[in-house]
Structure 1
Amino acid sequence: MFKRVSGLNIIAASLALIPAFAMAQETQVVKIGFSSPLTGPQASAGKDNQGGLMMAIERLNAQPITVGGKKIKFDVIAEDDQADPKSGVAVAQKLADQGVKAIVGPYNSGVTIPASRVYNDAGIVVATVASNPKITQQGFATLFRVAASDSQLGGKMALYAAKELKFKRVAVIDDRTAYGQGLAQEFIKVAKANGIDVVSTDFTNDKATDFTAILTSIKGKKPDAVFLGGYAPQGGPIKRQMKQLGVDVPLMGGDGICSPEMGRLGGDAIGESVYCTQGGTMLDKAKEGKVFSDEYQKKYNRPAETYAVSFYDGMMLIAQAMKQANSVDPKQFGPALAKISYKGVAGQYDFDANHDLKQSPVTVYRFKDGLPVPLTSY
């Protein structure tokens, strides 16, 4: 005989299943902050960064990951810090007030140094690409550098200049930003230690467009090359004006000039006599890097520039730390991030006691047809 089941029993059984079903489907929204220049001279870099972050967010939300028994949906709050320290601090306070759990950014060292105190006081995890060594020397527990530092970028360019390019006399210009100064100082230190004579040091600013006086002075010192501690909005015009003034020597720099923006701003002056360094291994040499570059081009109809991949990896690192800590609380996943060992698109991520990368290979690039082309990892 079949056992008769009443309608009430069926309803009761169904109701008993609802909490478990609801729990299994529960989604928690986790706010992630983004800080980079989205307007002004460095807007191209900022939009490049944002593209990399959003690729990671879309991939994570499509999976999605589960933390603490809940599916996680990441929601990005993007802010324009204008590459300006004062604006960067205001952005930091705004993002902290909105309850973000982590920040991917800022991009500029001059923004990151003052803004990082606000993020630290709020207990927010920060994954920055800003390269000035002072950033991680502050000892903030939730602050991590996910790219090479100035000591690696400037130092490796100086080594390459001395050992491979055989330069003996170099003039140095910096833009007086925390990034530009830090990069130039590291270049000078390693250049001198490897037999290069630094014939001059000149200063400009990150809003300047006319470098005639500086370059005329440099021309008289007959250097083998010029090194710029600064960004593409100054690098492009500097190389163009070098050509106009007959300063027919290579221009070198760090990751700030290692982007297609140099070609757009410098025109036909950006030939094969421009060298730059960028953290990470050569993307096109690794399968994951080639896939990332192709996907970025397809999605945004433009090539990934300097740090799109680092912003992508930075977000993936944060998500992995949340999974390992089984928590979206920065007090829990911050320590997990400090101990993480993660293979990203741009390379291996393991942090030292200062939260700098233990291993950060640097790739040297040379421009061709207005675009940086990797030469070697150094």
Structure 2
Amino acid sequence: MTSTLPEDAPPDRTVPDTAPLQKRVLRTLFMTQILGGLAVGIGIAVGALLVEEMTGSATFTGLAQSLFVGGSALVVVPAVRITERFGRRGGLAFGYGCAVIGTLIVASAIHLENAVLAVVGYFLLGAASFAGLQSRYAAADLAPVARRGSHLALIVWATTIGSVAGPSLAGLAERVWTGWFGGPAYVGSMAAIGVLCLITAAVILVFLRPDPLLTAREISGETDAPKRSIADGYRTAKANPAVRTGVIAAALGHFVMVGVMAMTAVHIKHGMADPEEALSVVGVILGLHIGGMYAFAPIIGRLVDKYGARPILIAGTAVLVAACAVSGSSPASDHVRLSVGLVLLGLGWSAMTVGSAALVTSAITPAERPSTQGFSDLIMGLAAMAAGLASGPIVEYASYGMLCVFCAVVALLVFPFLMGRLTGPKPVEEAA
């Protein structure tokens, strides 16, 4: 049985049917997103509380969250090179391996009471977030063009199962670890994250075969294409309006999500007297937020396939602004309103992430994917770090409400790009 893939191969090229392989790829990525989502959820739940406890200041609190989400800024350059040579398996396993090293560093920092070392460890730990984001691109490598948004969104959705439960499991991990081994707080959370990331890397190496990216390159006749770097991804984004818009939309959406989410835990904690009770409340609210990030992704993917990326990105921006309005007007004690705001924040992020990924992937060839997609995630990581650096001081010297106002303004900056011309060179034209 044969089929043609006009989006990636020249028109006269007949290729084997890749549907069975794509099903295997989706099953494997679905499993790893659950495991990785658990690790990311636990890390998000404890990051801000850990750094505030170690530093005694909210100024540095957002830094841990931003570094966790934006750790890809450190690993994306070697990860792109590894992906170029070994395919998606190598790049994804590398990301989760870096996260395992990060958990060891953070655990050591807790024992040594060294806040600087903890921040460094969280930076590496954030590689798990990078690997989870890159998995959505692996799902799109062999997807039919008419269903690319749906396949990509399915893997984004799979993270829901782990990520929603992750924050709530942070407290359980602490109790189990303390009961078995004793020691300072948050070490149990780091141990849980490390084990989950190690298992995830092993599943990827064993089951993600044949590699979807390398297979897509064989189909398109690009197996001998020159290896590309992050710099090539930048040049592609600069030359292609669709890619450039997708990168900017993803970065601004990520900035808003991280900026508000990072300081919500501290906002809640300041309104509660019992730190242990605060951790439980934070776990529930952040679990709902992460559910908003991932649970509606399949619906968003279908809408992208049906209407295109631009309307979804516009709608996502509007939802982000609404989320900032609801969250920013919520007192620290109003956990219901904060929950609604954080769910909307996650939903807006989901629309921006799925829409931008579909927009970028549809405008490039398989040979360009690792470098261009890696560049996009690099900019997302830098945006996350900028959000963390800005959010702490804004809350410290102004208020949580002013932080939300600031993030709403940032969200609106994407509109001039969405109103421009988004068409770029067709992948089939470039491949041919």
Whichever of the two has the greater Rg, that structure is: 1
Q: Which has the higher helix share?
A: 2
Query: Which gives a bigger RCO, structure 1 or 2 (Cα 8 Å, sep 6+)?
Result: 2
Q: Which has the higher strand share?
A: 1
TM-score (norm 1): 0.27
